[in-house]
């Protein structure tokens, strides 16, 4: 892990240097606040790692890496408003600590600041990075919209769901990998493969997130266990359970997902039982493993040293074995 830590430490130093609080304070303070809450720094680490793999100084990828972290945090600020979430990483969300307007405006500024970071690169690289960024950012918005739409839809299929998490989460991990390859001037094939690796890993990552939300260890997960069940979120687990349950359980599940009881303890308990009984839990774990394997298969096609392949393989495995 020494290698990986090196990236997050360098990113943190660069972030501290670049993201400063200036006038108007009310605009820039929330930006500094949200990026200082930490998090896994998954996206920028992937970018630096990828750049390093393709034999370029990973520090060259710092602006692109930070752009992705800023974008991710921008989307967190705006998503937290939409979800009316009071907490993020155990601390107050921006709209909660300040107000709605601050959340909207600081988020907007962050998105623009992300684009500005690409100006550190010469014009062809700038164009390649900004183009990939825009395409990805728009997909993330579309993914968020699908997620919102699913709340009121009762006909969400497994492919619908996979597309939603692909757009909302996975494409950004794909772009994180690919940006490292772009900065390293890697071949087109390497760019495509690194993108596919990140994207498949991203789907596995999000399915894992859904799984942990239901079955994670409350001591290590950080978020409330059963949060998706409380919010009636149609996750992979839910859709699979609906498909595979007995008629009786199906009725129970649908009824529970139309309610928001004050005390959700019994609701969570029953839903988890149905997830297990229907085989949905097993199928989710199988799906996580399938996407991880897909990612590893692309990994084998990457034109990198065996040592580096090992690093990426371990990185993916650690991510899948995480409990946070």
Quote the least distance from Cβ 104 to a copy of itself, whole Å.
5
> Would you say 126 or 215 has its CB closer to a copy of itself?
126
Contacts of 221 (CB under 8 A, 6+ apart): 212, 213, 323, 324
Q: Is the peptide bond before 244 cis (omega within 30 degrees of 0)?
A: no
Pick the closest to residue 198 from 90, 87, 44, 52 (CA basis). 44
Quote the least distance from Cβ 69 to a copy of itself, whole Å.
17
Quote the least distance from Cβ 299 to a copy of itself, whole Å.
30
Length of the chain: 324
> Would you say 126 or 221 has its CB closer to a copy of itself?
126
Pick the closest to residue 259 from 295, 229, 283, 234 (CA basis). 229
- Residue 35 to residue 315: CA distance in whole angstroms: 23
CB neighbours (10 Å) of residue 153? 10
Quote the least distance from Cβ 113 to a copy of itself, whole Å.
7
> Would you say 106 or 278 has its CB closer to a copy of itself?
106
Q: Catalog residues that contact a copy of itself under the rule CB under 8 A.
A: 23-24, 26-27, 78, 81-82, 100-101, 104-105, 107-109, 111-113, 115-116, 119, 123-124, 126-127, 130-131, 134-135, 137-138, 141-142, 144-146, 148-149
Quote the least distance from Cβ 80 to a copy of itself, whole Å.
11
Quote the least distance from Cβ 280 to a copy of itself, whole Å.
26
Pick the closest to residue 45 from 172, 166, 221, 223 (CA basis). 172
* CB 212 within 8 Å of CB 221: yes
* CB 284 within 8 Å of CB 213: no
> Would you say 89 or 135 has its CB closer to a copy of itself?
135
> Would you say 59 or 163 has its CB closer to a copy of itself?
163
* CB 157 within 8 Å of CB 185: no
> Would you say 18 or 130 has its CB closer to a copy of itself?
130
Place of tokens 């009636």: 232
């Amino acid at each position: 892990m020494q290698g990986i830590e090196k990236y997050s430490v360098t990113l943190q130093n660069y972030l501290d240097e670049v993201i400063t609080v200036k006038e108007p304070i009310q605009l820039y303070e929330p930006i500094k606040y949200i990026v200082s809450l930490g998090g896994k720094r998954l996206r920028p680490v992937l970018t630096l790692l990828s750049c390093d793999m393709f034999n370029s100084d990973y520090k060259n990828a710092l602006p692109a890496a930070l752009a992705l972290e800023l974008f991710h945090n921008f989307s967190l600020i705006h998503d937290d408003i939409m979800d009316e979430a009071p907490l993020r990483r155990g601390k107050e969300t921006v709209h909660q600590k300040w107000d709605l307007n601050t959340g909207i405006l600081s988020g907007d500024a962050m998105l623009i600041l992300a684009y500005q970071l690409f100006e550190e690169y010469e014009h062809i690289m700038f164009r390649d990075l900004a183009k990939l960024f825009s395409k990805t950012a728009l997909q993330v918005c579309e993914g968020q919209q699908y997620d919102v739409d699913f709340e009121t839809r009762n006909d969400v299929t497994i492919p619908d769901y996979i597309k939603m998490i692909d757009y909302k989460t996975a494409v950004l991990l794909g772009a994180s990998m690919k940006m490292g390859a772009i900065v390293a001037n890697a071949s087109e094939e390497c760019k495509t493969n690194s993108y596919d690796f990140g994207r498949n890993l991203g789907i596995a990552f999000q399915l894992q997130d859904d799984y942990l939300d239901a079955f994670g260890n409350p001591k290590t997960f950080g978020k409330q266990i059963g949060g998706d069940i409380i919010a009636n979120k149609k996750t992979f687990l839910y859709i699979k359970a609906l498909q595979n349950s007995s008629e009786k359980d199906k009725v129970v599940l649908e009824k529970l997902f139309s309610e928001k009881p004050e005390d959700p303890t019994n609701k969570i308990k029953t839903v988890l039982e149905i997830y297990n009984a229907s085989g949905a839990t097993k199928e989710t774990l199988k799906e996580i493993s399938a996407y991880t394997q897909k990612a590893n298969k692309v990994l084998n096609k990457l034109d990198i040293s065996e040592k580096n392949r090992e690093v990426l393989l371990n990185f993916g495995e650690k991510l899948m074995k995480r409990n946070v």
